[in-house]
Amino acid sequence: MAKHLITGGGGFLGSHLTDALLAQGHEVTGIDNFVSSQPENIAHLKGHSGYKFVEHDLTRGIPAEIATRKFDRIWHLASPASPVGYVQHQVTTLKINSTAAMEMLELAEKCGARIFVASTSECYGDPSEHPQRETYWGHVNPIGMRSMYDEAKRFLEAATMAYHRERKVDTRIVRIFNTYGPRLKMNDGRVVVAFITQALRNEPLTVQGDGSQTRSLCYVDDEIRGFMELMESDYHLPVNIGNPDECTMLELADEIRQLIGSKSPILHTPLPPDDPKQRCPDISLAKKLLKWEPAMPRKEGLKRTIEFYRKQLAVA
Ligand code: UDP
C-alpha cells in the first residue's frame, strides 16, 4: 500500500480522490487551507486510521511535518478552480500553481515520489480547435479576467516538464475539463451547482449570455477514475480527462429544470469577459493509453447531484 499526499485534499476533487484511495487501502495525507474548499468535504474522514489532515496554506511554504516525510505519490490539486474563486483569489491562484507547485516538485524529487499535477482545459483558452486535442497550444488572453488561472496552469505545465526533463522527476499532467457532482461548493458560481440550487429554490436560472456557449460535463467518479489510471500509467505528457458529451448552457438549464420539475424561469445575465464559447475534450489519447472513458450518463449524474443538493438545502 502506498503513501499519498494530496494538496487541496479538502477540495471537491481532492476529497473524492481521498475516498477512492482510502477505499483501496492506501495511506492518505491531505493538506488544505480551505481558501476555496470546505471542511465538510472531509468531515466523514475524522478518525479514519489511514488518513491524516494538515491545515496549512502552501503558498507560505511546505510545513516541516510534511517536508520531512516520505511519500510514494504526490497529487498537487490545490488551487481555486472556479472563475469566481480564482478572480477572488488572484495572487493565491498564481502562487499555488507556480512557486508552491515548484516546491511540491522539489519535494517529489527529494523523496523519489511520483507527482501528478492538476492542469486544465483552460490551457486551451477560448479554443479555435474543436474538440481540443492535447497537441493544441491554446488561445489564451494573457492579461484577461481568467489569465491568473489560465496562465498559472500553463506555467504549472511548463514547470512540471522542466523538472521532468532536467531533474528527472517522475511527473504526470492531467488537463481537467468541467467536472460536477456532490461536494462542489455552493455559491462559487459554477454552472451545474448554480442551476441546481436555483431550480430547487424555484429561483430564476441565471444563463449567462444567450446560453449558446458549450461545456462538456464529466461526473466526478469518472474523473477520479481517470486520475488514478493516469497516475499509474507511464506517460508524462498532458492527458485530457473529461467527458466529450457536449451541451449548450441553455440545454443544461432546461435539463436541470425538467429533472427537478422546477418552474424557474430563465434569466439571461451578462456573459463574463473571455468566457470560452465552446469546450469539448478529444479523449482519444486517454482511451488508447489508459483504456479510460467516462461511464456516467449526464442524466444520471445530474440526478445524483440534485439529490445531494436537495439534502444540503434541506439542512441549510
Ligand atoms: N454559466 C451560466 N450561469 C451561471 C454560471 C455559469 O450560464 O450561473 C455559464 C458560464 O458563462 C460558462 C459556463 O456556464 O459559459 C460554465 O461556467 P463555470 O463557471 O461553471 O465554469 P467554466 O467552464 O467557465 O470555467
If you average pLDDT over residues 222-235, what whole number do you get?
A: 98
List, for residues 51-80, the tens digit of each pLDDT value.
999 999 999 999 999 999 999 999 999 999
DSSP lists the bridge partners of residue 136 as none
Tell me the CATH number at 270.
3.90.25.10
**pLDDT (0 to 100) of residue 259:** 98
Q: Are residues 173 and 78 in the same domain?
A: yes
As a whole number of angstroms, the distance between CA 254 and CA 49 comes to 44
Residue 140 lies in a domain: yes
**Does the annotation count 309 as an active-site position?**
no
CA 14 to chain centre: 8
Q: Are residues 25 and 109 in the same domain?
A: yes
What DSSP assignment string belongs to 166-179? HH--EEEEEEEPPE
Sequence letter at residue 46? K
**pLDDT (0 to 100) of residue 42:** 98
17 CB contacts (<8 Å, ≥6 apart)? 6, 75, 77, 224, 227, 228
Backbone angles phi, psi at 135, to 5 degrees: -80, -10
pLDDT at 316 over 80: no
Sequence letter at residue 310? R
**pLDDT (0 to 100) of residue 98:** 98
Residue 125 lies in a domain: yes
**pLDDT (0 to 100) of residue 315:** 74
List, for residues 38-47, the tens digit of each pLDDT value.
999 999 999 9
pTM attached to this predicted model: 0.97
Q: Are residues 106 and 235 in the same domain?
A: yes
All cell numbers assigned to 222 = 469518472
| Distance, first Cα to last Cα, the chain | 39
| Contact (Cβ atoms closer than 8 angstroms) between residue 117 and residue 171 | yes
* pLDDT band of 116, cuts 50, 70, 90: very high
| Contact (Cβ atoms closer than 8 angstroms) between residue 8 and residue 17 | no
As a whole number of angstroms, the distance between CA 306 and CA 74 comes to 32
Q: Are residues 121 and 233 in the same domain?
A: yes
Q: Are residues 22 and 123 in the same domain?
A: yes
281: helix, strand or coil: strand
278: Cβ below 6 Å to ligand 1? no
Averaged pLDDT score across all residues of the chain: 97
Q: Are residues 108 and 256 in the same domain?
A: no
191: Cβ below 6 Å to ligand 1? yes
248: Cβ below 6 Å to ligand 1? no
If you average pLDDT over residues 5-22, what whole number do you get?
A: 98
Residue 305 lies in a domain: yes
Q: Are residues 239 and 263 in the same domain?
A: no
Q: Are residues 206 and 162 in the same domain?
A: no
pLDDT at 121 over 80: yes
Q: Are residues 265 and 137 in the same domain?
A: no
List, for residues 74-90, the tens digit of each pLDDT value.
999 999 999 999 999 99
> Which candidate in 149, 163, 180, 309 is catalytic?
149
All cell numbers assigned to 42 = 472531509
235: helix, strand or coil: coil
83: Cβ below 6 Å to ligand 1? yes
If you average pLDDT over residues 205-233, what whole number do you get?
A: 98
- Tell how far the Cα of 44 is from the centroid of ligand 1, in angstroms: 30
**pLDDT (0 to 100) of residue 85:** 95
As a whole number of angstroms, the distance between CA 110 and CA 70 comes to 9
**pLDDT (0 to 100) of residue 303:** 98
Backbone angles phi, psi at 194, to 5 degrees: -60, -50
If you average pLDDT over residues 222-241, what whole number do you get?
A: 98
As a whole number of angstroms, the distance between CA 46 and CA 153 comes to 32
List, for residues 139-148, the tens digit of each pLDDT value.
999 999 999 9
Residue 108 lies in a domain: yes
Percent of the chain scored above 90 by pLDDT?
99
Q: Which of 141, 191, 252 to mutate to test the pocket of ligand 1 (most atoms within 8 A of CB)?
A: 191
List, for residues 126-138, the tens digit of each pLDDT value.
999 999 999 999 9
Q: Are residues 164 and 207 in the same domain?
A: no
Residue 97 lies in a domain: yes
Residue 190 alpha carbon, nearest atom of ligand 1? 20
DSSP lists the bridge partners of residue 171 as 115
List, for residues 193-206, the tens digit of each pLDDT value.
999 999 999 999 99
Residue 184 lies in a domain: no
Q: Are residues 120 and 204 in the same domain?
A: no
If you average pLDDT over residues 242-249, what whole number do you get?
A: 98
208: Cβ below 6 Å to ligand 1? yes
How many domains is the chain partitioned into structurally?
Answer: 2
pLDDT at 295 over 80: yes
| Atom 19 of ligand 1: nearest residue by CA position | 190
Residue 186 lies in a domain: no
Domain extent at residue 205: 191-214+246-278+297-315
Tell me the CATH number at 8.
3.40.50.720
Q: Are residues 74 and 201 in the same domain?
A: no
